Amino acid sequence: MSAWNAGATGLGINVGVIDSGIHFSQPDLAGRISTTSTDVVVGRLTPDGPDDHGTLVSGVIAAAVNGFGTVGVAYESTIVSIRADTTGDCDDDPEDDVCFGSANLTRAIDYAIANNVRVVNMSLGGPDALTPAFEAALLRAVNAGLVFAISAGNDGAGADGGNPEWPGRYAVDPRFAGSIIVVGAHNSSDVMAGFSNRAGVAAAGYLSGPGVDIITGCDGTSCFRVNGTSFSSPAVAGALALLLQAFPNLTGRDAVQILLTTARDGGAPGIDAVYGRGLLDLTKAFQPVGSTQVGTSSGSVSVTAERFAYTGAAFGDALRKAGGGLQTVGHDDYKRLFRVDLAGSYGMAPRGAANMLPQAPRQQARLTTEGPMGSRLSLTTSAAVQDSPWDLAASTSVITPWLDERRREDMTVEFSAGRGAVAYWQGRNGARSPFQLGAGDNFASLAQVDRAWLGAVTVGAVTLTADTGVGDRAMPFQAREEDVSSYARFAADWQTSPTSRLRFAVGGLDEKMGPLGSYAPLDSGFALPSTTTFGSVGGQFALRSNLFLNAEMGWARTDLTGRFLSLSETAISSTWALGLTTFCKQLGLGCETLTWSVSQPLRTESGVFSAYLPDAPARYFDELTFSERAFSATPSGRQIDMSLGSVHRLGDGSAVSLRGMVTRDDQNVRASPTTFTLMGSWGKTF
């Protein structure tokens, strides 16, 4: 059980069992029965009752770990047995030989208040509301901070089995609501037991607990196997005791609300008339509810299960291999203290690269107007073919999770005159910028822009280019973040000969959500606003008349300062690629061109992350202390891609492109499985 794994046992919590007494000699309860256990019936003073009911109920709560039988939900809690039954005058049900009157129950509740009881279990009930005196005692108890688990009743097949019995129905009385849980019973298949009263009018305060084939009352040689809401109610009482012991800052009302809030839905969605709030779920109750606030030197970071983030592939598994570097503590909506591993808040970057995929078929229109002095103005619009099976970037959410299934569209306006030109491009829904200059493209593409500007001028054999772009980011079910990434680049392309050229580029990235293609929602506290400067050099060189070398190398320098995570040492990253292309028709291989390449995608080579975070306290209420954590920003592996591609001309003028790729240390994670990729496309020019 997750609660036990978290160290919760119920130790130090007194659970009052208002019932038919207890057998003090019960082996499973040895050391678990308080000496304050009593009999509140005037003049009787016999706390050891005539039947096993109260003993069996107490065993569900506090049966000890003793090597035989079963274990109670809160096995180290203390039972304060309060006998309140009378015998022989059960007018409501002549078949019962034990019943409970309002006067005795009133005395029992007052006794619980006076004897430091935190949780009260009442596995009893009847068809009618109780007396004003009982209600007054119940009000005194809830005002004193006591909380109650009360069985719903076993009249599921009866005339009023659609509603809980009294006093369980007080769970939704405004005077007591929030301090009482009325409990039905389900079986091991999470199906409501046929005998159990349903939630009915008390649905907002109703939980279902295990109440079929319950093992309790073990004595070393045999056990009882019992059914009834009498035995699902103490399971909830034990759960309340576990919460109050594990999280001593909680009030009883907090514990009740947590169990109701974290219940597992059963039956109709939401609160319903059968299962009420749902099925008791201790695992979820011992997880943070709502957002978890982690203190930082600049305030706090909010961790929620609904938000997600990932670091760029250049960092690989750097955060996840940091060990305990990002283990800390935080508080949930109930101010409960939890251990938190902030590294787990960042996922792995999406696999692959969208620019490796063939462009989707597009419908394109172009309008060109000639101007004076040889100038030209052109407008080009394009859109992906509707429902195209080739639009892999749209259909593969693992590769591009920020894209949805909407149609990719873009527009380019270009003006040229003489040796100069300017252009503006705008795209949406994942359309790619056409400004691929052959130098620094790996860095510029990280901004994932949807608006870009370019200016170019040619001087002799050199073309000088400046381009910049701005992008929004969106993920499924997340709010769009506007203008969160941008780049600026200056490039030079030098045509050294008709078959050779040399390219240079320098530029910068401004990424508000995280460095080098990372994604972290701005309002989550996990965003890592960063700036990157980069440089790249590459070119194409003729080695022979039919053999060409393509090469590129790039470097980047990244700084960031996040809410809790920063780079105390600047991150240096690199990328490179080498390729050989030949016109293979002369080689008799049945292809037009053949290209072999080997490349290393962007990888962080050095850098140090640092965080100033709270340490886990020795005791729950100790004041938090902070310490600085530092760990390497470099991943464990180095991704290497090797590919072989070819272009084949067909007789009808069309062409088939084939490309196979082998990837080692995918996403820069050492020992990642080697991946093999085969891609193909067909096209024809009209």
Residues with active-site annotation: 19, 53, 230
Cα 248–Cα 252–Cα 256 angle in degrees, nearest 5: 115
d(CA 569, CA 561): 11
- Three-state secondary structure call for residue 286: coil
- Three-state secondary structure call for residue 136: helix
CB 505 within 8 A of CB 575: no
Q: Which residue has the tokens 């003489």?
A: 418
- Three-state secondary structure call for residue 593: strand
Question: DSSP per residue over 458-478, as a string?
Answer: EETTEEEEEEEEEEEE--TTS
Tokens of 372: 């004076």
d(CA 565, CA 521): 15
Cα 535–Cα 537–Cα 538 angle in degrees, nearest 5: 150
Q: Which residue has the tokens 């292309």?
A: 581
Q: Positive or negative, the Cα torsion across 296, 298, 302, 308?
A: negative
Any residues with CB less than 8 A from the CB of 561 and at least 6 apart, and which?
A: 529, 567
Phi and psi based region of residue 525 (left: phi greater than 0; alpha: psi -120 to 50; beta: remaining): left
Instruction: Name the residue among 87, 114, 105, 111 with its Cα closest to residue 166.
Output: 105
CB 59 within 8 A of CB 218: yes
Within the chain, how many helices (H) and strands (E) appear? 9, 33
CB 304 within 8 A of CB 293: no
d(CA 111, CA 90): 23
Count of residues for the chain? 686
Tokens of 74: 């809160």
Helix (H) or strand (E) holding 415: strand 409-417
d(CA 450, CA 404): 15
Q: Render the burial of 466-485: b for 16+ CB within 10 Å, e for the rest.
A: ebbbbbbbbbeeeeebeebb
Omega before 358 cis (within 30°)? no
Any residues with CB less than 8 A from the CB of 534 and at least 6 apart, and which?
A: 440, 443, 505, 506, 507, 508, 509, 554, 555, 556, 557
DSSP state, residue 573: E
CB 536 within 8 A of CB 319: no
Neighbours of 329 (CB within 10 A): 17
Instruction: Name the residue among 196, 223, 227 with its Cα closest to residue 212.
Output: 227
Pairing of strands 451-459, 299-303: unpaired
Tokens of 12: 């130090």
